[in-house]
Structure 1
Amino acid sequence: MPTGWQASLFDAAEAVGLRPLTAARRTVLDHGAWIELLPGWLTGADTLFERLAEQVPWQAERRHMYDREVDVPRLLCFYGEDDDLPDPLLDEARTALSDHYGAELGEPFRTVGLCYYRDGRDSVTWHGDRIGRGSTEDTMVAILSVGAARPLLLRPRDHHGRTIRHALGHGDLIVMGGSCQRTWEHAVPKTNRPVGPRISIQFRPRGVR
């Protein structure tokens, strides 16, 4: 797939690999939610971006919204727990996340979802991963970002509190835990600024979407 992507010289010079998750830093939010951030968890992230952009069978989807069918403003691909992942690095990342967070989560990460934001017109609106168990139980969703940085916004679901903003790309990791999917929302907004493409890789436990 043509990407219009220009890799950074810094990322291209690094070998592809994962840094220790012990360096992640947790921020406690309201309502029993928390996030952990680890900038640059994946080294050589531009190499993985290029492999995924070319090898993943990206799908354009349409969804019903406001009594009409609209294009989903990003490309998607979902891998269930029994599916072969498109790159061995994703298997390695899922195993590392399960080893690090499994005791607290009470289970391993199982599924992998990918979103391809081709430019600033692609986005995802405010939402929580509340399909399935995420609507009633504390859980975790880990997101690894490769490609150009895009802002990920978080706000309380009741809108009583400040919006948190993190620019994620180039191998950055964010983990949303506790009640975050039920009591907070997150979004990647559209932008008119020229931005490069980004791929978001979401690791989730069984029964959470």
Structure 2
Amino acid sequence: MSAPLQGSLFDQTHDIGLGPLEGVRRTVLGDGAWIDLLRGWLHGADALFEELATSVRWRAERRHMYEREVDVPRLLAFFGEQDPLPHPVLEEARAALSAYYAEELREPFTTAGLCYYRDGRDSVAWHGDRNGRSSREDTMIAILSVGDPRDLALRPRGGGATAMRLPLGHGDLVVMGGSCQRTWEHAVPKSTRAVGPRISIQYRPHGVG
């Protein structure tokens, strides 16, 4: 279920930087929820993946589930509001997103959480990020993905069939906004296909879990 990182055929540069955000496309999900998508916002994404994979101090976690302790199926890193991010382009991305969404969000993105999906066995179960203010307020979570694409699946809260699957990697940006964390759920399902590693960077405003 694992494979080495397969470089993007459309992004062969080693120069790491951001494109314009004007190409963002919005999809309205319903119940006040929406997502914005921009493919390939970050160029040099494969080079950034390699830097993050080797330089970030990744940690493995264990959690109690079903009356037993299990490994969290991915590696994690978190950077708080005062912490320097592990690459300058991640600081630039956070500032650019804060400026672009300033009128709607009315506050900046402040924190960054990183997830390292090593292969198809690593995953995130269905959930909404409803810790803190996102449990009662509309907000945004922006996710920048580097490495090989993995599906971000979405469905209305409460279960049922998957409504949308977005393969994200190689510098793609997705922003979940409005009521998305309260009225919809998202997941990164396990894959039985041989897939390469991926890192996602999740930007959140203050107090949004």
Question: 1:194 — aligned with what?
Answer: 194
Matched AA of 1:172 = D
Cα deviation, 1:124-143, whole Å, max 9, x if unaligned, reads 00011111011000000000
Question: 1:104 — aligned with what?
Answer: 104
Give the C-alpha shift of residue 192 in structure 1. 1.0
What is the count of residue pairs matched by the alignment? Answer: 207
Matched AA of 1:97 = L
The answer for unaligned runs of 5 or more in structure 1 is none
Report the secondary structure of 1:110's partner residue: strand
Q: TM-score, normalised by structure 1?
A: 0.95
Give the C-alpha shift of residue 160 in structure 1. 6.0
Matched AA of 1:190 = K
Q: Is the 8 A contact 2:153 2:162 kept in 1?
A: no
Cα deviation, 1:49-87, whole Å, max 9, x if unaligned, reads 011001100000001111111100000000000111111
Q: 1:191 to 1:162 in 2, by over 3 A?
A: closer
Q: Is the 8 A contact 1:12 1:47 kept in 2?
A: no
Matched AA of 2:66 = Y
Distance in 1, matches of 2:100 and 2:8, equals 29
Distance in 1, matches of 2:183 and 2:39, equals 24
| Residue pairs, 1:45-64, within 5 angstroms | 45-64=45-64
Distance in 1, matches of 2:188 and 2:160, equals 20
Distance in 1, matches of 2:12 and 2:26, equals 29
User: Per residue, is there more helix in 1 or in 2?
Assistant: 1
Report the secondary structure of 1:144's partner residue: strand
Distance in 1, matches of 2:155 and 2:8, equals 31
Cα deviation, 1:157-177, whole Å, max 9, x if unaligned, reads 033675211100000000000
Question: 1:130 — aligned with what?
Answer: 130
Q: TM-score, normalised by structure 2?
A: 0.95
Larger relative CO (CA 8 A, sep 6+): 1 or 2?
A: 2
Distance in 2, matches of 1:159 and 1:128, equals 12
Q: 1:112 to 1:75 in 2, by over 3 A?
A: same
Distance in 2, matches of 1:11 and 1:51, equals 16
Matched AA of 1:204 = R
Question: 1:154 — aligned with what?
Answer: 154
Report the secondary structure of 2:102's partner residue: helix
Question: 2:119 — aligned with what?
Answer: 119
Distance in 2, matches of 1:119 and 1:53, equals 13
Distance in 1, matches of 2:160 and 2:29, equals 12
Distance in 2, matches of 1:60 and 1:10, equals 32
Report the secondary structure of 1:203's partner residue: strand
Question: 1:27 — aligned with what?
Answer: 27
Give the C-alpha shift of residue 14 in structure 1. 5.4
Question: 2:76 — aligned with what?
Answer: 76
Matched AA of 1:176 = M
Q: 1:166 to 1:80 in 2, by over 3 A?
A: same
Q: 1:196 to 1:64 in 2, by over 3 A?
A: same
Give the C-alpha shift of residue 12 in structure 1. 3.0
Distance in 1, matches of 2:10 and 2:155, equals 33
Distance in 2, matches of 1:71 and 1:85, equals 26
Q: 1:10 to 1:164 in 2, by over 3 A?
A: closer
